[in-house]
């Protein structure tokens, strides 16, 4: 994305002149104090918002020039772990995770095994039929992650994914993201938890005062 | 079945909103069904009466002399385009006067004009000019009523009823579209979480709209069936209550099989209107988002 500016309604500009290029297959962090505009920047990338000015490009397309169906197709290439999860309590854990597949018209029998395997892999094999409302914060987080990755997105975005979990669970989730990155997804994680950010060798973007600064991963880049 | 259990509705039914909506739509459908039936009856009635009236004529023999009346009757029968004649008795003529003069107040020697009813042939019926010409030539003083005025009045009043009921019908259909659109938008707002998630995981607008459309198709089907059922029950009560021959603004009300046939497609129409309205208002709302 280049020269992005963003303001809400007639409020002050939250982001000014942001330039950001995500290399395919990379693992990046986005940090910055609370209220700096991390969520706003992520929303611009996962197409929940349109920039007030500047150009966003995704997968070689310019969303601003796409019609609504093309936008939907772009969104399918992006998996998002929303801040606050965005789980649907009237659906079971299994169904929540299956939603991205269902909306593309895939049939239950086509994805049943994949979804169950994925949920077992994130350690939720025993709560497939539970409502997310009955789960702990860490479990909800993993449901949200499973939903974000179930359609094998090219880009995985997570907004404060460790916000509500204890440090141990935080580290486990980070290993999960690294694993997904190793499997080929580009990963972008927003977090204001610096300790967590430092625990993984990754490029770090920092937003402050509407500006973005970049710090490449220290020394040992992940072996590819 | 396991498979069934795991395919829960993405959009759960919403008793809190659907209950009142069901009630409102059922009432609208009930009223609309009645309006449609009244329009149908008006059409049927006027056609029935028109053909009955146009195949008949009444000749009043002013003198009231039975012999002259008989002569007139044979003369009338000889006119081409006349199928049958029937002379009304003095008693019959008297009974027509009773409402004005009272049963016992008509002296036997009061000259009462006698009536000859003419039934016209279906093909090339005789005109009232033919008839009056023939009577005049025979020197019989008579006045002829070819029921044109009455038929005109009838057609007019039936036309008014038709326009009224179709207007009412149109208003009720708009009301149901408006109330469904309103309910869809409030359902959309109530389910913002779901709509947001679906939208952001890449559901096309059509997919989301179909979810709501489906819900209102089902609701429309149920409410439509209830409303139409209620209308059918009302008709049965009307018929059983012997109101079959009652008249309303000059039209006799004889609800028959046609009325019930008219009600048959009502649930489907209601479902289609509901589904289409919901689908469209979801698309409209979504288009206003990113
Ligand atoms: N929907 C919104 N409407 C208006 N202002 C908003 C909205 N969302 C966020 N903001 C404002 O934008 C700024 C950045 O918020 P956000 O992107 O959520 O920051 P972060 O995720 O880094 O904590 C904050 O000042 C916040 O008040
Ligand atoms: Mg945030």
Would you list the DSSP string of B141-210? Answer: -EEEE-SHHHHHHHHHHHHHHHHHHHHHHHHHHHHHHHHHHHHHHHHHHHTHHHHHHHHHTT--HHHHHH
Structural domain includes residue B272: yes
Is-contact A42 A159, C-beta < 8 A?
yes
Is-contact B282 B209, C-beta < 8 A?
yes
Domain boundary among B140, B160, B195: B140
- The CA-based angle A99-A104-A107, given to 5 degrees, is 75
Helices A108-121 and A137-149: crossing angle in degrees, nearest 10, is 130
Query: Are A37 and A141 within one domain?
Result: no
User: How confident is the model at residue A197, as a pLDDT?
Assistant: 74
Query: Are A189 and A148 within one domain?
Result: no
Domain boundary among A125, A152, A179: A152
- What is the layout of strands, in order, in the sheet containing A13-18? A13-18, A2-7, A53-55
Token digits of residue B19: 């209950």
Query: Are B89 and B177 within one domain?
Result: no
Distance CA B76, CA B70 (A): 10
Distance CA B34, CA B51 (A): 26
Distance CA A96, CA A89 (A): 8
Q: Is the dihedral of CA A127, A130, A135, A140 positive or negative?
A: positive
Query: Are A2 and A65 within one domain?
Result: yes
The ipTM is 0.87
Query: Are A34 and A132 within one domain?
Result: no
Max Cα–Cα distance, chain B, nearest Å: 99
Is-contact A150 A76, C-beta < 8 A?
no
Structural domain includes residue A63: yes
CA of B204 to the centre of ligand 1 (A): 27
Query: Are B184 and B45 within one domain?
Result: yes
CA of B205 to the centre of ligand 1 (A): 26
Domain boundary among B113, B140, B167: B140
Query: Are A9 and A71 within one domain?
Result: yes
Structural domain includes residue B56: no
What whole-number percentage of chain A has pLDDT above 90?
30
Q: Which residue has the higher pLDDT, A217 or B23?
A: B23
Residue A186's nearest CA partner among A146, A158, A145, A215 is A158
pLDDT digits (tens, 9 = 90+) for B17-61: 778 889 999 999 999 898 888 888 777 777 777 777 777 888 888
Structural domain includes residue B179: yes
Distance CA B196, CA B192 (A): 6
Token digits of residue B167: 């207007």
Distance CA B195, CA B123 (A): 68
Query: Are A165 and A148 within one domain?
Result: no
Structural domain includes residue A221: yes
User: How confident is the model at residue B44, as a pLDDT?
Assistant: 78
Query: Are B213 and B94 within one domain?
Result: no
Is-contact A5 A52, C-beta < 8 A?
yes
pLDDT digits (tens, 9 = 90+) for B132-189: 888 888 788 888 887 777 777 877 887 888 888 889 889 988 988 888 888 888 888 8
Please tell me if the CB atom of residue A14 comes closer than 6 angstroms to any atom of ligand 1. yes
What is the number of domains present in chain B? 2
Query: Are A62 and A173 within one domain?
Result: yes
Query: Are B173 and B281 within one domain?
Result: yes
Query: Are B75 and B112 within one domain?
Result: yes
Q: How far is A68 from chain B (nearest CA, A)?
A: 7
Q: Is A27 in CB contact (< 8 Å) with chain B? A: no
Q: Is the pLDDT of residue B218 over 70?
A: yes
Query: Are A53 and A10 within one domain?
Result: yes
Which residue's CA is the nearest one to ligand 1's atom 27? Answer: A35
Mean of pLDDT over chain A: 84
Query: Are B135 and B159 within one domain?
Result: no
How far are the Cα atoms of B54, B85, B95 from residue B119, in angstroms, in the given order? 9, 6, 22
pLDDT digits (tens, 9 = 90+) for A121-169: 888 999 999 999 999 888 898 999 999 999 989 999 999 887 767 778 7
Q: Is A224 in CB contact (< 8 Å) with chain B? A: no
Identify which of A49, A92, A100 has the shortest CB distance to residue B201: A100
Token digits of residue B258: 């046609």
Q: Kindly state the average pLDDT of the residues A99-113.
A: 91
Domain boundary among A115, A132, A152: A152
Distance CA B21, CA B176 (A): 10
Q: Report the DSSP pairing between strands A53-55 and A78-81.
A: unpaired
User: How confident is the model at residue B2, as a pLDDT?
Assistant: 45
Query: Are B44 and B99 within one domain?
Result: no
Q: What domain range is A124 assigned to? A: 87-152
Which residue's CA is the nearest one to ligand 1's atom 16? Answer: A37
Look-up of token digits 């980070």: A174
Structural domain includes residue A82: no
Query: Are B278 and B216 within one domain?
Result: yes
User: How confident is the model at residue A81, as a pLDDT?
Assistant: 93
Domain boundary among B140, B167, B201: B140
Q: Is the pLDDT of residue A67 over 70?
A: yes
Q: Is the pLDDT of residue B72 over 60?
A: yes
Q: Is the pLDDT of residue B258 over 70?
A: yes
Query: Are A39 and A73 within one domain?
Result: yes
Chain B residue numbers touching A44 (CB-CB < 8 A): none
* Whether pTM exceeds 0.90: no
User: How confident is the model at residue A2, as a pLDDT?
Assistant: 53
Is-contact B69 B135, C-beta < 8 A?
no
Q: Is A194 in CB contact (< 8 Å) with chain B? A: no
User: How confident is the model at residue A43, as a pLDDT?
Assistant: 92
Q: What domain range is B28 assigned to? A: 15-50+151-287
A·B CB contacts under 8 A: 71
DSSP string, B26-93: HHHHHHHHHHHHHHHHHHHHHHHHHHHHHTEEEEEETT--HHHHHHHHHHHHHSTTEEEEEEPPHHHH
Domain boundary among A109, A132, A152: A152
Structural domain includes residue A199: yes
Query: Are A216 and A194 within one domain?
Result: yes
Structural domain includes residue B76: yes
Query: Are B167 and B86 within one domain?
Result: no
What is the number of domains present in chain A? 2
Q: Is the pLDDT of residue A224 over 50?
A: no
> Which of the 8 DSSP states describes residue A64?
G
Distance CA B255, CA B236 (A): 9
Q: Is the pLDDT of residue B249 over 50?
A: no
Identify which of B6, B12, B207 has the shortest CB distance to residue A103: B207
User: How confident is the model at residue B1, as a pLDDT?
Assistant: 38
Query: Are A148 and A54 within one domain?
Result: no
CA of A7 to the centre of ligand 1 (A): 9
Chain B residue numbers touching A90 (CB-CB < 8 A): 8, 12
Is A78 in a helix, a strand, or coil? strand
Mutation choice for ligand 1 from A37, A80, A207, CB with most ligand atoms inside 8 A: A37
Query: Are A179 and A134 within one domain?
Result: no
Q: Find, in chain B, the residue whose alpha carbon is nearest to that of A88.
A: B194
Distance CA A57, CA B20 (A): 47
User: How confident is the model at residue B243, as a pLDDT?
Assistant: 54
Query: Are B89 and B67 within one domain?
Result: yes
Structural domain includes residue B4: no
Q: Kindly state the average pLDDT of the residues B72-98.
A: 79
Beta bridge partners, A215, equal A204
Residue A88's nearest CA partner among A127, A119, A131, A49 is A131
Q: How far is A180 from chain B (nearest CA, A)?
A: 18
Structural domain includes residue B57: no
User: How confident is the model at residue B42, as a pLDDT?
Assistant: 78
Q: Is B137 in CB contact (< 8 Å) with chain A? A: no
CA of A74 to the centre of ligand 2 (A): 22
Q: Is the pLDDT of residue A112 over 70?
A: yes
Split at pLDDT 50, 70, 90, the class of A211 is: confident
Q: How far is A74 from chain B (nearest CA, A)?
A: 7
Q: Is the pLDDT of residue B114 over 70?
A: yes
């Amino acid at each position: 994305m280049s020269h992005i500016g963003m303001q809400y309604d007639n409020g002050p500009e939250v982001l000014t002149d942001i330039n950001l290029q995500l290399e395919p297959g990379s693992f990046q962090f986005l940090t910055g104090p609370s209220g700096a505009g991390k969520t706003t920047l992520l929303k611009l990338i996962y197409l929940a918002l349109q920039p007030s000015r500047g150009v966003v490009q995704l997968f070689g397309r310019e969303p601003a020039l796409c019609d609504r169906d093309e936008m939907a197709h772009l969104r399918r290439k992006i998996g998002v772990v929303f801040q606050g999860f965005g789980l649907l309590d009237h659906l079971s854990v299994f169904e929540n995770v299956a939603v991205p597949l269902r909306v593309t018209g895939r049939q239950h029998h086509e994805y049943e095994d994949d979804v169950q395997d994925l949920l077992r892999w994130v350690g939720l094999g025993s709560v497939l039929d539970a409502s997310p409302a009955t789960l702990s914060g860490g479990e909800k987080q993993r449901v949200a992650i499973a939903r974000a990755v179930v359609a094998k997105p090219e880009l995985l975005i997570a907004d404060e994914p460790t916000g509500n979990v204890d440090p141990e669970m935080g580290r486990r989730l980070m290993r999960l993201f690294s694993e997904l990155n190793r499997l080929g997804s580009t990963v972008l994680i927003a977090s204001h938890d610096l300790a967590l950010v430092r625990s993984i060798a990754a490029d770090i973007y920092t937003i402050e005062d509407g500006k973005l600064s970049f710090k490449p991963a220290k020394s040992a880049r992940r072996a590819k | 079945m396991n498979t069934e259990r795991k395919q829960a509705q993405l959009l759960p039914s919403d008793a809190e909103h659907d209950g009142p909506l069901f009630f409102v739509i059922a009432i609208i459908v009930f009223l609309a069904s009645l309006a449609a039936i009244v329009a149908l009856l008006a059409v049927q009635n006027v056609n029935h009466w028109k053909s009955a009236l146009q195949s008949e004529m009444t000749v009043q023999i002013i003198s009231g002399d039975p012999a002259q009346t008989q002569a007139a009757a044979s003369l009338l029968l000889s006119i081409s385009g006349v199928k049958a004649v029937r002379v009304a008795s003095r008693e019959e003529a008297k009974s027509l006067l009773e409402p004005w003069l009272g049963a016992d107040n008509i002296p036997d020697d009061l000259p009462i004009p006698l009536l000859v009813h003419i039934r016209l042939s279906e093909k090339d019926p005789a005109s009232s000019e033919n008839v009056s010409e023939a009577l005049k030539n025979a020197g019989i003083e008579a006045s002829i009523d070819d029921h044109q005025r009455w038929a005109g009045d009838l057609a007019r009043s039936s036309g008014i009823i038709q326009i009224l009921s179709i207007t009412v019908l149109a208003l009720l259909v708009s009301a149901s579209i408006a109330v469904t659109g309103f309910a869809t938008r409030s359902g959309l707002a109530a389910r913002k979480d779901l709509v947001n998630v679906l939208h952001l995981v890449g559901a096309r607008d059509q997919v989301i709209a179909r979810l709501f459309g489906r819900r209102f198709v089902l609701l429309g089907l149920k409410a439509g069936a209830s409303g139409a059922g209620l209308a059918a029950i009302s008709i049965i009560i009307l018929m059983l209550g012997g109101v079959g021959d009652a008249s309303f603004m000059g039209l006799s009300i004889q609800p028959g099989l046609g009325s019930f046939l008219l009600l048959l497609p009502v649930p489907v129409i209601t479902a289609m209107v509901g589904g289409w309205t919901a689908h469209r208002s979801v698309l409209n709302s979504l288009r206003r988002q990113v």
